[in-house]
Structure 1
Amino acid sequence: MTTEPIDAVVTWVNGNDPAHRRKLDDYLASLNRARPAAADPTRFDDAGELPFCLASILRFAPWFRRIHIVTDDQRPPLLDALRGTPWEDRVRLVDHREIFAGYERHLPSFNSYAIIAALWRIDGLGDRFVYFNDDFSLIREVRPEDFFDGDTMLVRGRWQTQAAYRPVKRLAHALRRLVGRASAAQPGARVGHQAAQEESARMAGYERTFVRLFHTPYPMRRSTLEAYFAAHPEQLERNLEHRLRSPRNFNTECLAAHLDLAQDRAKLDSRLKLAHLKPDEQLPLRMWAKLRRADRDPSYAFACVQSLDKADRDTAARLTAWLEARIGSLAEALARA
C-alpha cells in the first residue's frame, strides 16, 4: 500500500481571457511572421473542461492530499464554489511566476512543454504527484495504488523501437527534415509528439527503444526531476526558453517515466484504459462507439476530450452530456465530500 501522500497537478489556461489574448498577440507580433501552428487558438481556448476534471478528482479520487491548479495570472471561477467546503484549503492556485522563479525572462509562456517541465518547482508539492491536463477526467473510482504501487510508479504505455532504428520511419523522418528544414527552427514550428517522447527517452539513456506513453494522467516524482535538472540545468533551460512549442522541446512526463524505469522505480501497467475523444479528427460514429465501450468496460478509468472547442454544437452537447452522466457536476462532487 502507498502511504506517502500524493498530490494532483492540473494545468489550465483560459485563452478567451482578453488579458491572456493580449499577451499572446504581443508575443506573436514580435515574431514578425504568420501565426504558427503552436499558437492555434484551440491550444488555449477554454471549453469548460476544468469543472469536469476537478469534479472527477473530487468524486473518484478524494484521497489526493492537495490539488494544484497551475495558471498564468488567471483565476478559474469554479474556485468560488469551494468556499466553506473541506476542499477550500486543499485546492491551491499556482501562478507561472512561482514555477518559473529565476527564469522569469521566459515569461509569459504559451508552451505546455515548458510549463510541464517546471511543475516540480511548485511550492509545497509532494514528492509523488499526478499531472492532469485540464481536458483529462476520471470516469470511475481510482486508488493511490493505480499510480504508485508501493515505491513503484506505474507507467501507462507500450515499448516501441525509436524511429531512427526503423528503416521506413528513418526514411520518412529524413524526408520531413529535408522538406521542413527551413521552418523547423522557427518559433512555434510543429512539434512531433512521438519525437519529443523519443528525445526524452534518450535523455534518460534509452537509445533504441522508448515507452510511448498513453494520454492519461501521468504520475511523476518531484525528487526524480529535481535531481535530474540539478545535474543538467541546461536541459531545463532548453524547455523553458521556448515560449511556444519548439522542435527542440522534450516531453517531461516521458523523461520522468524513463528516469524511474532506468532505476527500477517504475513498471509498465496499462490495465486501466482511456477513452480518447478527438471531435476535430474522429468521425462521430467512432466517438459514440468509444463512449459505449467505456460505459460497458469497467477497466476504462480515464477520458480525454481533446479540442472540444472544435466540435460542432450537437457533438459538443452529446460529449458534454456523457461527461455529466459519468462524472456529475462540481456541486454534486462537493456535496459528497
Structure 2
Amino acid sequence: MEPIDIVITWVDGEDPIHKAKRRKFLGNGRGETFAEVAAPTRFRSVGEIYFCIASILRFAPFVHHIYIVTDAQNPHADRFAARFFPESHIPITVVDHRTIFRDYEDLLPTFNSLSIETMLWRIPGLSERFVYFNDDVLLVAPVSPSDWYDEAGQPIIYGYWHCTWTARLVRWLRLPKHGHRTFTYKDSMLNAADVLGGEARKRFVRMIHASLPLQRSFFEQFYGQHPELLVENARWRFRNPHQFNPQSLFITYLALHNRCVLRPQGQTVIYLAPRPERIKKVAQSLRAAIVNRAAKICCINSLDMGAPEQQLGIVAWIGQRLGIDFLALRAERLRKQQAEERA
C-alpha cells in the first residue's frame, strides 16, 4: 500500500512571543488590518491539536507519518502520544514555517492559513498521498485508506458542485462590514476557480470542512508551471481577498477531469460551530452527533468561541469517542499554568 501521511497546521496564538510578532505586522500598509482576518479566534488554541492527534492515533493506525506545521512552537505531541498511545509507532514531526518557506524566507513571518497551505507540499519527505487536517478537524470513528483514496488512488472528497455565477452574485450582494466585504471560505474557492479558468468559471467544488486527501505531485507540477502564483498567494501575512484556496484549486481541477470522487456530507461528516447565541442549535447538533454511528469525521469551528457549557459538552463527547478524559487534562493544564504564574 502506498503510504499516506497526515499534515496538520497549528499555532498557539496565546503564546506571548507569537502575539507580539502578530501585533508587529498588523497595519503594515498592505491592506491586512481587517478585524476578521486577525481575530484572536484564528490563532487561539484550546487543546484541539490533541483531539486531532489522538483521533488519528486511535482511528487511523495505518498512517505512515504525522507532520505538524507551526511557527517556532512545539505542542509536544510526541509526549502526548507516548502517554496515551504507547503502542503507536507513527512518527510525529514538527515542521517549522521556515522549512516549507525555504528560499522564500522574505515572506515570513506569516499568520495566514492560505499562505501556509500554499507551501505544505514542500515538507521534506512528504509522501505523494497526504491528508490535510486543520487542527479543528478530528476523526470520531475508525477509518481506512479507502475513506480517503479509492482503489485507483483517486482522492475521495466530501463536497458538491457549486454554480460560479451564483457565488459571484452572493459575494456582490454581501453588505460591506467595516468598509469592505468580508472575505469568506467560499470566496477563496471562487478565487481558485478564477485561477483555473475554463470550465471552472461555470462551476467549482464547494468543499465540506473535513480532512482533505491531496497529492503532492499536483502542487509541485502546478507551481512549477506557475511560480508567480505561488509567490502571489503566499506573500500575504494575513488573509487577503485576492488569495485562492490551494486545496480547492486541486479538488476542482481533479473533479473537472474526472480524477477524484465526490461524496455528499451525509451522516459521515459532523460540523459543530459553538457560539453563545446558538445554545439550543448546538445542543441539538451535539445530541445528534452523540447518537450518530455513521460519522467518521468532525470539524469543530472555533471551540474557544463557545459558551462554557458548550465547550464542556463537546470536550466530554470527544473524550468519550477517543477514550481520553480531556476535561481532566484541561484541569491539569490549568493547574500547571497557575503554578508557573505563581512561581
Alignment of 1:157-168 (within 5 A): 157-162=159-164, 164=165, 166=166
Match of 2:158 among 156, 159, 166: 156
Paired residues in the alignment total 319
Q: Secondary structure at the match of 1:70?
A: strand
For 1:89 and 1:60, how far apart are their aligned partners in 2? 12
* RMSD, aligned CA: 2.5
Alignment of 1:12-161 (within 5 A): 12-28=10-26, 30-31=28-29, 36-82=35-81, 85=86, 87=88, 90-150=91-151, 151-161=153-163
TM-score relative to the length of structure 1: 0.87
2:115–2:233 contact (8 Å) kept in structure 1:
yes
Match of 1:315 among 292, 310, 321: 310
Q: Percent identity?
A: 35
Q: Secondary structure at the match of 1:131?
A: strand
Higher relative contact order (CA 8 A, sep 6+): 1
Equivalent position of 1:240 in the other structure: 234
Question: C-alpha displacement at 1:252, in angstroms?
Answer: 1.1
For 2:82 and 2:322, how far apart are their aligned partners in 1? 21
Alignment of 1:161-310 (within 5 A): 161-162=163-164, 164=165, 166=166, 171-176=169-174, 183=180, 190-204=182-196, 205=198, 206-270=200-264, 273-280=268-275, 283-310=278-305
Correspondence 1:327 to 2:322: yes
User: Structure 2 regions of 5+ residues with no counterpart?
Assistant: 327-343
Gap change, CA 1:181 and 1:263, over 3 Å in 2: farther
Question: C-alpha displacement at 1:57, in angstroms?
Answer: 0.3
User: What per-residue deviation string (whole Å, max 9, x for no partner) do you get for residues 149-205 of structure 1?
Assistant: 02211111011111x2x3xx655543559x579747xxxxx4221121122133334
The letter of the residue matching 1:319 is I
1:139–1:302 contact (8 Å) kept in structure 2:
yes
User: What per-residue deviation string (whole Å, max 9, x for no partner) do you get for residues 260-282 of structure 1?
Assistant: 22333212123662221111276
For 1:63 and 1:170, how far apart are their aligned partners in 2? 41
2:9–2:68 contact (8 Å) kept in structure 1:
yes
For 1:182 and 1:287, how far apart are their aligned partners in 2? 31
User: Structure 1 regions of 5+ residues with no counterpart?
Assistant: 185-189, 332-337
Equivalent position of 1:334 in the other structure: none
The letter of the residue matching 2:314 is L
Equivalent position of 2:333 in the other structure: none
Gap change, CA 1:30 and 1:209, over 3 Å in 2: closer
Equivalent position of 1:335 in the other structure: none
For 1:142 and 1:293, how far apart are their aligned partners in 2? 20
